Amino acid sequence: MTRSDSSSAAAAPRALITGVNGFTGRYMAARLAADGYRVWGTVRAGEAERAGDLPGHATPLAADLLDREALAHAIETVQPDVVVHLAAVANVADGDVARTYVVNVVGTRNLLDTLAHQRHVPRAVLIASSANVYGNVTPGVIDETVAPQPANDYAVSKLAMEYVAKRWNAQLPLVIARPFNYTGVGQTTDFLLPKIVEHYARGDRSISLGNTDVSRDFSDVRDVVDAYARLIDVAPRGKTVNVCSGTGWTLGELLATLSRIAGYAIEVNVDPRFVRANEVRHLVGSNAKLQTLIGESKRTPIEATLRWMYEEARSRLRPA
């Protein structure tokens, strides 16, 4: 690196991403690096060595959200200009309820309290909540004025996290993003669409699923991080914003789309073990507020996202 390159890097804005080694974190790191940021990211203790090469040459920092000392050291090291808080227990079906609440609520509190006591105040702090906070509301497109009705522990923990975060509105430039469902290459098969794509990519003739009478607003992960990056740019302090496509897809429509991509139809078996009594049946969002804040948002057609995932899975599963 030449002296001018070194000076340019030192002058670049600094970004800190919690949970940088997760599904969304890796895409977020690549996006912020492309936008000219130097990127650091927290990973849980013991994972720094296993983080591998992170996108955008992001630097991993071992700092669990529940370890206030390690968290303070990481933030003091980076002195971030922007923070993207992604680290969380993110699976609705996670069986460790206590861990879900502690990480999502207490962990977020630890992060914000630590940021508020640093000498360098970030110009934007984006907190990723979840559209699951809306729960089983009246059918229709959901905007930010709809009162939350969380229907599972994950959703309750995210709504509690939002309330906790508001305690720091006066000290920190917070924006809360409520992403609806999104997917892409790299999401684990614990989630619905990667699981279905994996079955098609293997050529399986049948699949066991849970609730089949659900509809969801799906986005491409690359569109979601685009929205996050643009929200960071405008830094709408104190706002809560849906991040979504505005279009709902039933499970049947998604299966039909994958059948066209793969060239065959899969047999669906409803397995009672996968049926959740507190399943949110219909979750489709309005992105009007998002567009007002950041302008027209990127929209990758769901078929293009599923094709990208299918082709990657086929390539990965193909014998060497």
* Secondary structure element (H or E) that encloses residue 27, with its range: helix 23-34
Q: Is the dihedral of CA 180, 186, 188, 189 positive or negative?
A: positive
Closest CA to 46 of 29, 59, 64: 64
What gap in Å lies between CA 148 and CA 26, rounded to an integer?
A: 29
Express as a percent the part of the chain with pLDDT over 70: 91
- Residue 286 CB-half CA count within 13 A: 12
Predicted local confidence at residue 271, as pLDDT: 75
Q: Rounded mean pLDDT of 261-265?
A: 97
Give yes or no for residue 128 having a pLDDT over 80: yes
Predicted local confidence at residue 212, as pLDDT: 74
What six digits make up the tokens of 150?
């969380």
What gap in Å lies between CA 234 and CA 207, rounded to an integer?
A: 44
Predicted local confidence at residue 153, as pLDDT: 93
Which of helix, strand or coil describes residue 75? helix
In degrees, to the nearest 5, what angle opens at C-alpha 120 toward C-alphas 114 and 126? 65
What gap in Å lies between CA 74 and CA 63, rounded to an integer?
A: 7
Neighbours of 3 (CB within 10 A): 7
Beta strands in 154-199 (DSSP E): 174-179, 182-183
Kindly report, residue by residue over 105-119, the tens digit of the pLDDT.
Answer: 999 999 999 999 998
Give yes or no for residue 10 having a pLDDT over 90: no
Q: Rounded mean pLDDT of 68-90?
A: 95
Kindly indicate the confidence band of residue 93, based on its pLDDT and cuts at 50, 70 and 90: low
Ramachandran quadrant class, 181 (left: phi over 0; alpha: psi -120 to 50; beta: rest): beta
Predicted local confidence at residue 44, as pLDDT: 84
Predicted local confidence at residue 110, as pLDDT: 98
What six digits make up the tokens of 210?
């849970």
Amino acid occupying residue 104: N
Rounded to the nearest angstrom, the gap between the alpha carbon of residue 80 and the centroid of all alpha carbons in its chain is 20
Instruction: Please give the backbone phi and psi of residue 267, each rounded to the nearest 5 degrees, phi first.
Output: -85, 130
Q: Rounded mean pLDDT of 115-125?
A: 95
Cα separations in angstroms, 273 against 35, 60, 153, 208: 44, 37, 18, 10
Which residue segments constitute the domains of the chain, with CATH numbers given? Answer: 7-184+220-244 (3.40.50.720)
Predicted local confidence at residue 52, as pLDDT: 62
Q: Rounded mean pLDDT of 133-161?
A: 90
Kindly report, residue by residue over 291-315, the tens digit of the pLDDT.
Answer: 999 998 879 999 999 999 999 999 9
Closest CA to 197 of 302, 80, 92, 93: 302
* Cβ proximity of 239 and 175 under 8 Å: yes
Predicted local confidence at residue 4, as pLDDT: 47
Which of helix, strand or coil describes residue 65? coil
Kindly indicate the confidence band of residue 1, based on its pLDDT and cuts at 50, 70 and 90: very low
Kindly indicate the confidence band of residue 9, based on its pLDDT and cuts at 50, 70 and 90: low
The pLDDT mean for the chain works out to 90
Give yes or no for residue 94 having a pLDDT over 50: yes
Bridge partner list, 284: 141
What gap in Å lies between CA 213 and CA 118, rounded to an integer?
A: 48
Which of helix, strand or coil describes residue 194? helix
Rounded to the nearest angstrom, the gap between the alpha carbon of residue 248 and the centroid of all alpha carbons in its chain is 18
Predicted local confidence at residue 208, as pLDDT: 87
Give me the DSSP letters along 263-278.
Answer: TSPPEEEE-GGG--TT
Kindly report, residue by residue over 229-254, the tens digit of the pLDDT.
Answer: 999 999 999 999 999 999 999 888 99
Kindly indicate the confidence band of residue 270, based on its pLDDT and cuts at 50, 70 and 90: confident
Kindly report, residue by residue over 190-219, the tens digit of the pLDDT.
Answer: 898 999 999 999 999 999 887 777 888 999
